[in-house]
Copies of this chain bind each other. A is one copy, B any other.
Amino acid sequence: MGWVQVSDGEQVYDKYAYEPFAVTVDLAVLTLRAGALHVLLVERGQEPYAGQWALPGGFVRPDESAETAARRELAEETGLSDVSGLHLEQLRTYSEPGRDPRMRVVSVAFAALLPDPPPDFVRGDPALASPEPRGGSDAAQARWTPYDSARPLAFDHDRILADAHERVGAKLEYTSLATAFCPPEFTLGELQRVYEAVWGTALDRPNFRRKVLATPGFVEAVPGAARLTGGRGKPAALYRAGAATALQPPLLRPSREGRPT
């Protein structure tokens, strides 16, 4: 940490010399519902920004890493009993002095990805969460909101949400991250809908299929299994997430602008 570089050397060992920093985590929890990207939001019950929607989050406790705190909050907010398999990714840290009007808050932001039909979650499952959430104020609501109608959010959460979207979109290109949006067994059509929802573009189905299958370790076939997706049509073969984490070759999104010449 470059401890020795601190110019105000005398204050290094006085833990209470400065007004302390609060360290929190903020979560952009994303999923697909009916083919559209959704984000988990909570309604604030207190000032500032009372009544507005915000990303879920909370304090990092003294014995936790930011990652541990984020996973704990994820379990509390979604009510899922097992969040250990879910993808959780650190985005960046937001530390501007005035982010929160009450005190100095440094927030580590995470993106979390949930499989397609997320169980209609229960907020603050008593079996998991601490005894009594929040003191006197109104109970905060939580709900899934379509990504496009999420804004405006409280604090600097518009920016955090945009950063989460951008990061996830970029990682779909060169990692197998898309499978984190899918249930354990999924069809290639479902996988394609993940790409289309996050990127906001339509993809050519035959070419998508070929690219996915040509990428070693991306998906592996479940022998003999098949499932009807839309009630009609040919049943689709099922696949599981493969061992690869990086895609070689990458699955690049169509470029917005034409190339020169």
Which A positions have Cβ atoms within 8 angstroms of B? 1-10, 12-13, 15-16, 18-27, 42, 44-46, 54-67, 73, 76-77, 90, 92-93, 95-97, 99-100, 102-108, 129-135, 137, 140, 155, 214, 216, 248-249, 255, 257, 259-260
Contacts and interface: CB of A to CB of B under 8 A. Distances in A.
Contacts of A155: 1
Contacts of A59: 6, 8, 12
A92 B90 contact: yes
Copies per complex?
Answer: 2
Q: Is the interface of A mostly helix, strand, loop or mixed?
A: loop
Listed from nearest, the 9 A-B pairs whose CB atoms lie closest are A2-B57, A20-B20, A7-B130, A9-B135, A66-B95, A5-B58, A93-B93, A9-B134, A4-B140
Q: Which residue, A44, A61, A93, has most C-beta atoms of chain B within 10 A?
A: A93
Given A21-B21, A90-B92, A95-B23, A4 B66 contact: no
B2 A27 contact: yes
A105 to B, nearest CB: 6
Given A20-B21, A44-B3, A129-B7, A106 B15 contact: no
A151 to B, nearest CB: 17
A214 to B, nearest CB: 7
